[in-house]
Amino acid sequence: MKHYLLIVVLCFLNITHAQDCTYTFLGEIKDFHDGTPLAGATIHIETLNSYTTADINGKFSVKNLCNGTLVLVISHVGCETKRVEIDINGNTYKEINMEHHLEELNEVVVAANTKLDNTAIQQTVSKTQIETYTDKSLGDALNTISGVSSLNTGNSIVKPMIHGLHSSRLLIVNNNVRLFDQEWGDEHAPNIDINTSNSLEVIKGANTLKYGSDAIGGLILIKPKKYAAIDSLFGSSMVSFNTNGLGGNVNSEIIKTYKSGYYAKLQASYKQFGDFKAPHYYLTNTGLRNLNASMSIGYNSFEKGFNAYYSIVNNEFAILKSSHIGNVNDLVTAINNKEPRVVEDFSYNISYPKQSILHHLGKIEAYKRFKKLGKLSLQYDFQINRRKEYDLRRGDLADTPVIDLRLFTTSLQPNLQIDVFDNLEINTGFLLRFQQNDAISGTGVSPLIPDFEKYDAGIYATANYNLNLFSEISAGLRYDFSRIEATKWYNTTDWEDTYNYDELFPEFESGTTDNSETLTYPEFSFHNFSANLGYNRHFSNDFELFFNYGLASRMPNPSELFSDGLHHSAARIETGKLTIGKEIANKFMLSLERNNQKFGFTISPYFNYINDYVQLIPVGITTTVRGAFPVWEYNQVNAIIFGVDIDIDKKINNTLNYQGSISLLQGDNLTNDIPLIHMPSTNFTNSISYYNKDLNQLSISLNHKTVLQQNRYPDYNFNTYDATINDYVYVDISSPPSAYSLFGFNSTASFKAFKKGTLKLEFNIENIFNTSYREYLNRLRYFADELGRNFNLKIKINY
Amino acid sequence: MKTIKLLALFFVSSLVFVSCSSDDDHDDHDHEKELITTVTYTLTNGDDVVTLKFEDLDGEGGTDGTYTVSGNLSANTTYTGSIELLNATENPAEDITEEVEEEGDEHEFFYTSTISDITFTKTDTDEDGNPIGIETTLTTGDAGTGSLTIILKHEPTKPNDGTSTSAGGSTDVSVTFSIEVE
């Protein structure tokens, strides 16, 4: 009874007080990260339409309030304005946390100037530049960066190369997911639709430990865009058309964002080309068909967020018909003939040989920030890569691929970013990954890569410390454990005699033999350490100096350990070795930059010493029913690769700008005292551009690229007997083609179209003078010239 | 909470993926290979039969192939020649000559010898009336020693001038036997 009375009295009191409107709200504004009070924050009390400011302790009060909802809009220099709703129920106190990491939410705004890591030596390809490459590949787009080249198989299978290193030595990270699809052969190019990306970043040092310990060559980051929290629906469509290959690309994307922070994006692109043309002939069977789609949904706020992303890439590449040869005599004939042996009329047909690849990538990522600690994020991802390579075959097997691989990769990666300290930021986390390769049965060919399962576990910590306003230092450590378990049939003679594996690895034998083959279960475990140290310093006059040292170690990939079979287009048998161990690189880089509007430059020398560098080189000849075949084996040597990349940017006047770059590189095999195979030669570019903002943002540029002949190459040429002419013939598989210069023209202009949209037109000419040339880093250079002149038209509509 | 649920869902689905893909056929993995292991060229003149045989049962790599010639050819004699390609890793051995015959317009055998007065004539034709070379006649001249080379081209230019080099295409078979005409 007493209680009831009390409640009634309280209620009564409450009501009377509420009507009095005499409550006070006390607020305290603090920095989210370190809890320091934010003095001087402006508070707009929307409900009362009045203003106040926080005192030196970050405190403020609002008096004479009734019970109900109070809406405050708080702003502070360097922080994102925050709108909070507070329920007033009597005298109320609330702590309000502000964040001052604007750039994380609006990364797109500053993408061109933001570095992933201030001490990294890094270059970026922006969205506008990517759009120029909408109908090309990732490798083509990156090729514009000094120090980046590409290893090609024909013209559409393009592997990026940084400072002469490619494949497993480059980490390609797409939307924070490390891509697994391209390590096992020169002709396995990354399956990425560059239209999904907002920026491409190339980090030339081996210093991004968050992604792996094996970035001996560097890292390529493909980054999506982040969207501001506003209610909006927008998108763009782009169509491109090319005269060479009579094809192009259509790309469309649509994005919906909400003020609450939710967003969704849908993107799709379709690309088709027919046979490309060299200056003097069609490159029969070089067309391609790609269909790609991606979607992303997520929620972004300062304190928490998530993102779910899925992309599918479906690529079908025809491979130059003339590159399908049977033995070394066919190769000699191809090398000696100036023209490819099959030249037919233009066609959209994709016949054999060809590659067809389907790549799924899915990820989900979530993050939450904790007060006075930092940001915890968790990512789970998976990839399925199905690769089918078709050759010209006889009879019932005509439509059966010779290589049919399915690679499944899944990983879990938590990361904690600690930013509570003023001058220090720490990143730490671990990685768990499982990979399974299935060499699908029924190809009628020994699988080039066998079935295997691979387990990875890694742990890392990196730290950035601001020494003072002008200099920063970073350091990191990473440890990885990897285990690979394979199942492989070896030719018994190879197992016992050729490679002596029965004595070296008796533990791998299963005891099962059949039809001159031995079943084995090779298992390897590797421990990898990596570390990096970086320093940067700003000087007056816009000068900036970077130093970076990276230690990276890479375990051999399955092709280096196990490959065993024939590559028709190169007329070679490729053999992996179970004795291959890990390679360890020490890379030093220095970069002096001047970021000045009038005259800017970057000079970055580098030196990479690689212990036990794995290379694939010709070692001899084997006779088969088809005649003689060169055998290429993986072996290990000590190597150094050093060079310098120089970029220059000079503003001539208000409208004219000059850009130039030169890359010098030398790679040496120290063990045999000869040059390394397949190193890019000296190349330089010049471009002069005119830009007028007032004239529909008209931009016109003329550009030039010269690639000098590679004079430093290992000579693996040999003689072989040709029974048809009863004589020995010289097999020139090493000599690089001569130097070439290409000229190009680019122009773009933007127009206002309908109410809110813009229309962008772009017209380009590649290889203006229709120059015939061959490129040393193209695997098909023995068979045909590179592409001739191309006119390209692009129309982009933003809405 | 929602994100945690989604994460859990993804994990479960990934497990499904993994278990689905665990259809490992480890023990009999791609054991049936498509190979040409055996090339036999049989030359017949009445009771006089000479066989030239190349055999490489483990394909590329492993042990090298072996060449056997059953005897010497007689001078100034005409032989009826017939070639047979087998994949002897299968049981019974697969006759690849049949495939070549079926796709006769995409194949052609070429025969050459370093003994200059041996002549070859292809006696069979494909659907377009061009020679295939499964059936041949071989005529010897004077005695001598040298080699005999048989080449099978896939997708050669047809018709051609009769030499394998100008016919282009890719080589499926190239075997060279030491022979003697007595």
Q: Say if CB A622 and CB B58 are below 8 A apart.
A: no
Contacts of A624 in chain B (CB under 8 A): 56, 59-60, 65
Model confidence at B20, in pLDDT bands (50, 70, 90)? very low
Kindly report the number of other CB atoms within 10 A of residue B70's CB atom. Answer: 11
pLDDT tens digits, residue range A720-772?
A: 888 878 888 898 889 999 999 999 999 999 988 777 788 999 999 999 999 99
Query: By CA distance, what is A519's nearest residue in B?
Result: B27
| Residue given tokens 């010239």 in the structure block | A785
**Residue B18 to residue A623, Cβ atoms within 8 A:** no
Residue range A428-444: mean pLDDT, rounded: 91
B118 touches chain A (CB under 8 A): no
pLDDT at residue A24 tops 90: no
Kindly report the number of other CB atoms within 10 A of residue A719's CB atom. Answer: 11
Distance of alpha carbon A781 from alpha carbon A33, whole angstroms: 56
ipTM, two decimals, is 0.81
* Count of pairs with CB atoms under 8 A, one residue in A, one in B: 177
Q: By percentage, how much of chain A surpasses pLDDT 70? A: 93
Q: Tell me the pLDDT of chain B averaged across its residues.
A: 82
A7 Cβ partners below 8 Å, 6+ apart?
none
Q: By percentage, how much of chain A surpasses pLDDT 90? A: 48
Residue range A105-125: mean pLDDT, rounded: 49
Contacts of A623 in chain B (CB under 8 A): 64-65
Contacts of A324 in chain B (CB under 8 A): 170
In angstroms, what separates the C-alpha of A465 from chain B's closest C-alpha? 33
Instruction: DSSP letter for B105, please.
Output: G
pLDDT tens digits, residue range B148-171?
A: 999 999 888 888 888 888 888 888
Q: Which of A31-35, A56-60, A363-367 has the lowest mean pLDDT?
A: A31-35
Which of B31, B149, B170, B175 is the best mutation test for A, with the most CBs of A within 10 A? B170
Which helix (H) or strand (E) segment is A107 a member of? Answer: helix A107-110
pLDDT at position B9 is 54
pLDDT tens digits, residue range A89-100?
A: 888 888 888 776
pLDDT at residue A44 tops 80: yes
Which helix (H) or strand (E) segment is A97 a member of? Answer: strand A92-98
A52 Cβ partners below 8 Å, 6+ apart?
A43, A45, A60, A61, A62
Q: Angle A99-A100-A102 (CA atoms, 0-180°, nearest 5)?
A: 105
pLDDT at position B52 is 93
Model confidence at A206, in pLDDT bands (50, 70, 90)? low
pLDDT at position B6 is 54
B172 Cβ partners below 8 Å, 6+ apart?
A326, A394, A626, B36, B107, B152, B153, B154
pLDDT at position A110 is 30
Model confidence at A133, in pLDDT bands (50, 70, 90)? confident
| DSSP state string for A748-764 | EEEEEETTTEEEEEEEE
pLDDT at position B3 is 53
pLDDT at residue A36 tops 50: yes
Model confidence at B8, in pLDDT bands (50, 70, 90)? low
Model confidence at B5, in pLDDT bands (50, 70, 90)? low
Residue range A295-300: mean pLDDT, rounded: 92
Most confidently predicted of A46-55, A208-217, A728-737, B31-40:
A728-737
pLDDT at residue A246 tops 70: yes
pLDDT tens digits, residue range A633-686?
A: 999 999 999 999 999 999 998 899 999 999 999 999 999 999 999 999 999 999
pLDDT tens digits, residue range B54-78?
A: 998 887 777 888 999 999 999 999 9
**Residue B7 to residue A627, Cβ atoms within 8 A:** no
**Residue B172 to residue A326, Cβ atoms within 8 A:** yes
Distance of alpha carbon A44 from alpha carbon A83, whole angstroms: 9
Residue range A701-727: mean pLDDT, rounded: 90
Which helix (H) or strand (E) segment is B98 a member of? Answer: helix B96-102
Residue range A18-30: mean pLDDT, rounded: 78
Distance of alpha carbon A734 from alpha carbon A41, whole angstroms: 69
pLDDT at position A380 is 95
Amino acid at A641: I
Model confidence at A11, in pLDDT bands (50, 70, 90)? very low
pTM of the model: 0.84
Which helix (H) or strand (E) segment is A16 a member of? Answer: helix A2-20
Residue range A382-392: mean pLDDT, rounded: 92
Residue range A309-321: mean pLDDT, rounded: 93
pLDDT at position B19 is 45
Q: Which of residues 4-33 of B touch A (CB under 8 A)?
A: 4, 6-7, 10-11, 14, 17-18, 21-33
Model confidence at B27, in pLDDT bands (50, 70, 90)? very low
Model confidence at A118, in pLDDT bands (50, 70, 90)? low
pLDDT at position B21 is 45
| DSSP state string for A162-173 | ETTEEGGGEEEE
pLDDT at position A375 is 92
Give the closest of B29, B34, B99 to A439, CB-based.
Answer: B29
Which of A320, A394, A432, A783 is the best mutation test for B, with the most CBs of B within 10 A? A394
Kindly report the number of other CB atoms within 10 A of residue A756's CB atom. Answer: 9
A232 touches chain B (CB under 8 A): no
Query: By CA distance, what is A384's nearest residue in B?
Result: B17
